Amino acid sequence: MGVHQVAEMHNVAFVGHAAAGKTTLGEAILHKLGVTSRLGNVDDGTSVLDFDDESRERRHSTDSSLLHFERDGKLVNIVVAPGMPDYAGPAISALAAVETAIVCVSAVNGIGVNTRRMFNAARDFGLARMIVITKIDHENANLDEVLASIRDTFGAECHPINLPADSGKRVIDVLTAEDGKADILDVKKCHTELLDSIVEIDDSLMEEYMGTGTIPPEKLEPAIGAAVGSGHLVPVLFVNSKGGVGIDEFLEALTLFAPSPVYGKRREIVRGEGENAVRTPIEPKLDGPFIAQVVKLTSDPKSNIKYAVARVYSGTLKGDGAFHVGDDRKATRPGHIFKLRGAEHHEIPAAGPGDIVAFAKLDLHIGQILDTDAVEGTIPMPRFPTPMFSRAIESKSRGDIDKIGAALRRFEEEDPCFRSHRDAQTHELVIEGMGDLHLAVVRSKIKRMYKLDIETHAPKIPYRETVVGVAKGVEYTHKKQSGGAGQYARVFIDLEPNERGAGYEFQDKIFGGVIDQAFRPSVDKGIREQLKKGVIAGYPVVDVKVSLVDGKTHPVDSKDIAFQIAGRQAFKKAFATAKPILLEPVVNIEVNVPAQFVGDIARDIAGKRGQVVGQDVLPGNQAVLKASVPLAEVANYSSQLKSVTGGQGSFSMELSHYDIVPPMVQQQIVASYKPHGEEEE
């Protein structure tokens, strides 16, 4: 396979809801082209594209997968995305690699949450869109209804380019056929509407078409490229992947309707930020500088060799060539260039503009630029949703912690919707993802790939402790005079609340020399140690003022450690009597749901000690609800939202402030606190 002219390349991503038939359509293509001798089947684990153990066992794609083929001298690259919203990371990354999103919609189940999300994500990113209605053979297929709901949801720019006929045994091409009998709709009417839509964005072509009633063949392809590339036309077609109906026609349509890089979204290199950003469109030239972007990381399930998949935007890289990673001064020599097809890979001599290729054994991240000129800047990726579901993880054996760190870093590099961090306050290792399924898959992969067993539980809420009352002259004497050197320290302290956010303050109010100057900082140090550990429930103490007001020194037995202990103990005593309270994090939450759920969501938030602060109606019968609610009540909100809306909602949240925990809740938290560790008195 040589390097293709850019106009002869078509890059598409199959996206949409889970079980829409994306993977099966990929299998049908491989089978039709003779790449596979038997039609791969996701139901019995023989899918070539769902090749990893995780996808095979779960019977659904857990990652994106690649295939490609040549047809009439044109090269088509296909990225098949996973459909569950949990795998938004790989699904949205797939959009970064292509000019066209092929949104698959099952004729049985119609439009799902992720159909809409992926269609909109592709539109917002500026990609052309096509829609494939799958499973037209199914006994429960409802073609009229599905097509109507597609036009209703995604607009009148959705035009069938073929129609099922003979009870789904074949499809009629609407672009060329002017009559014929289809199972749904009128062929002639669809033909006219399609041609009208193609000529609409080109005035001179429109005039010519009005005059002659046809589009000259040499003008058809560029006109279609412009209409689909600009989103003015969203072609819709029909397939039965299991029975091989409409597959040839689909392949034909790909090379005609899916815009090549010439007509599709032009990527830019962006330097700087905001208004001052400088944007340089990348020309897809064979002999320009080599510019590519990493869009996927994967590993061979057998050899465990890592592959970085990159989309080339400009220039040609030979197998013995080199590139820079971003603006890194040092050049990288990939050594070999590969094409991936499912789990298979084969070497190619060169990577040309428009192609999607892979490099082995390189340490790369999704989104990085690979280029000959060590350019600064970024090629913007589509917008990824923020992971909102978190779990704390623990390993069964302590020695595994480094290995777990390495595993988590790898998943973070592979999946832009997966994150991990060590919580500064609770010290827990927390992983964040799109939902429970997402994190269950990560956990299972960690077990499989790294032979590590980890346990997960809900992360701790980072409460804080403080006081609202005052304690005066609280005394503590630390004395140890049994054997060896003795210890002696006596302190009196006052404790009062500090302003919210002001932190801890220590004041030395000793008159005269009742405590040696040298030991006064020891009292402060002892208290600071206790602040970290908390007093009533094990959470850090914030916003208190302590004054050291009196005390006593022993000429021989007084020492630093004795005053630290006395300070600490006096503080604990004072804290317990100064009306201790707990503070909890409160988040601002924004929930997006279909409008009919707004009432349920608002009631649910109110039941969670939350306050609704705003409500907006968005186009497409969507609504957004803004509220302020304690984190503890929404720590598991992704599951809760799913159960209220049947998976149709999404949300985001961010920390707003800390607020006082109601007494009833505080009692429960304090009661469940089991102090552990040494008390040295």
Ligand X SMILES: Nc1nc2c(ncn2[C@@H]2O[C@H](COP(=O)(O)OP(=O)(O)O)[C@@H](O)[C@H]2O)c(=O)[nH]1
Residue 105 Cβ vs Mg ion, minimum distance, rounded to whole Å: 14
Short-list 635, 640, 660, 664, CA closest to 650 = 640
Residue 68 Cβ vs Mg ion, minimum distance, rounded to whole Å: 17
Residue 23 Cβ vs Mg ion, minimum distance, rounded to whole Å: 3
Q: Which one of Mg ion, ligand X, none is in contact with 218 (Cβ closer than 5 to 8 A by kind)?
A: none
Taking the C-alpha atoms of residue 294 and residue 391, their distance in angstroms, rounded to an integer, is 29
DSSP string, 39-57: ---TTTT--SSS-SHHHHH
Residue 26 Cβ vs Mg ion, minimum distance, rounded to whole Å: 8
Give residues 40-59 in contact with ligand X (rule: CB under 6 A). Answer: 42-43
Short-list 327, 340, 333, CA closest to 368 = 327
Nearer to Mg ion, 66 or 317 (CB): 66
Residue 528 Cβ vs Mg ion, minimum distance, rounded to whole Å: 55
CA atoms within 13 A on the CB side of 406: 9
Nearer to ligand X, 64 or 522 (CB): 64
Q: Which one of Mg ion, ligand X, none is in contact with 21 (Cβ closer than 5 to 8 A by kind)?
A: ligand X
Q: Which one of ligand X, Mg ion, none is in contact with 285 (Cβ closer than 5 to 8 A by kind)?
A: none
Strand partners, 65: 80
The pairing of beta strand 100-106 with beta strand 128-134: parallel
Give residues 67-86 in contact with ligand X (rule: CB under 6 A). Answer: 83
Taking the C-alpha atoms of residue 369 and residue 367, their distance in angstroms, rounded to an integer, is 7
Q: Which one of ligand X, Mg ion, none is in contact with 242 (Cβ closer than 5 to 8 A by kind)?
A: ligand X
Residue 132 Cβ vs ligand X, minimum distance, rounded to whole Å: 10
Give residues 89-128 in contact with ligand X (rule: CB under 6 A). Answer: 104
The one-letter code for the residue type at 124 is D
Q: Which one of ligand X, Mg ion, none is in contact with 241 (Cβ closer than 5 to 8 A by kind)?
A: ligand X
Nearer to Mg ion, 61 or 569 (CB): 61
Contact 342, 65 (CB under 8 A): yes
Nearer to ligand X, 132 or 546 (CB): 132
Residue 620 Cβ vs ligand X, minimum distance, rounded to whole Å: 23
Nearer to Mg ion, 40 or 334 (CB): 40
Residue 30 Cβ vs ligand X, minimum distance, rounded to whole Å: 13
Residue 229 Cβ vs ligand X, minimum distance, rounded to whole Å: 25
With a CB cutoff of 8 Å and minimum separation 6, the contacts of 671 are none
Number of residues that bind ligand X (CB under 6 A): 20
Nearer to Mg ion, 22 or 545 (CB): 22
Write out the E strands in 446-527. 454-457, 464-467, 471-480, 487-497, 505-508
Site string for ligand X, 126-155 (x = CB under 6 A): --------xx-xx-----------------
* Total Cβ atoms within 10 A of residue 140: 9
Q: If 0-12 CB within 10 Å is exposed, 13-18 middle and 19+ buried, where does residue 630 land?
A: buried
Site string for Mg ion, 220-249 (x = CB under 5 A): ------------------------------
Is the torsion defined by CA of 355, 121, 266, 129 positive or negative?
positive
With a CB cutoff of 8 Å and minimum separation 6, the contacts of 676 are none
Q: Helix, strand, or coil here: 338?
A: strand
Residue 189 Cβ vs ligand X, minimum distance, rounded to whole Å: 26
Give residues 234-273 in contact with ligand X (rule: CB under 6 A). Answer: 240-242
Measured in Å, how far apart are the chain's first and last C-alpha atoms? 79
Residue 73 Cβ vs ligand X, minimum distance, rounded to whole Å: 29
Residue 18 Cβ vs ligand X, minimum distance, rounded to whole Å: 5
Site string for Mg ion, 25-64 (x = CB under 5 A): ------------------------------------x---
Spell out the SS3 assignment of 531-551.
HHHCCCCCCCECCEEEEEEEE
Give residues 6-45 in contact with ligand X (rule: CB under 6 A). Answer: 18-24, 42-43
Greatest alpha-carbon span in the chain: 113
Give residues 60-89 in contact with Mg ion (rule: CB under 5 A). Answer: 61
For ligand X, which residue of 11, 36, 61, 109 counts as binding (CB under 6 A)?
A: 61
For Mg ion, which residue of 11, 23, 293, 638 counts as binding (CB under 5 A)?
A: 23
With a CB cutoff of 8 Å and minimum separation 6, the contacts of 490 are 475, 476, 477, 478, 551, 552, 553, 566
Contact 377, 269 (CB under 8 A): yes
For ligand X, which residue of 60, 129, 159, 443 counts as binding (CB under 6 A)?
A: 60
The pairing of beta strand 9-16 with beta strand 100-106: parallel
According to the binding rule CB under 6 A, does residue 62 interact with ligand X?
Answer: no
Nearer to ligand X, 242 or 533 (CB): 242
Nearer to Mg ion, 61 or 456 (CB): 61
Nearer to Mg ion, 44 or 499 (CB): 44
With a CB cutoff of 8 Å and minimum separation 6, the contacts of 383 are 92, 121, 124, 125
Q: Helix, strand, or coil here: 376?
A: coil
Nearer to Mg ion, 23 or 530 (CB): 23
Residue linked to tokens 């097809």: 341
Residue 393: its H or E element: strand 389-395
Q: How far is CA 605 from CA 389, 459, 615, 629, 632, in A?
A: 18, 21, 13, 7, 12
With a CB cutoff of 8 Å and minimum separation 6, the contacts of 44 are none
Nearer to ligand X, 104 or 131 (CB): 104
Token readout for 641 is 């939202």
Nearer to ligand X, 434 or 527 (CB): 434
Provide the 8-state DSSP code for 424: T
Window of 15-23, 155-163, 168-176, 312-320 that interacts with Mg ion by CB under 5 A: 15-23
Residue 312 Cβ vs ligand X, minimum distance, rounded to whole Å: 27
Q: Which one of Mg ion, ligand X, none is in contact with 64 (Cβ closer than 5 to 8 A by kind)?
A: none
* CA geometry: angle 40, 241, 86, nearest 5 deg: 75
Residue 586 Cβ vs ligand X, minimum distance, rounded to whole Å: 39
Residue ranges binding ligand X (CB under 6 A): 18-24, 42-43, 60-61, 83, 104, 134-135, 137-138, 240-242
Residue ranges binding Mg ion (CB under 5 A): 22-23, 61
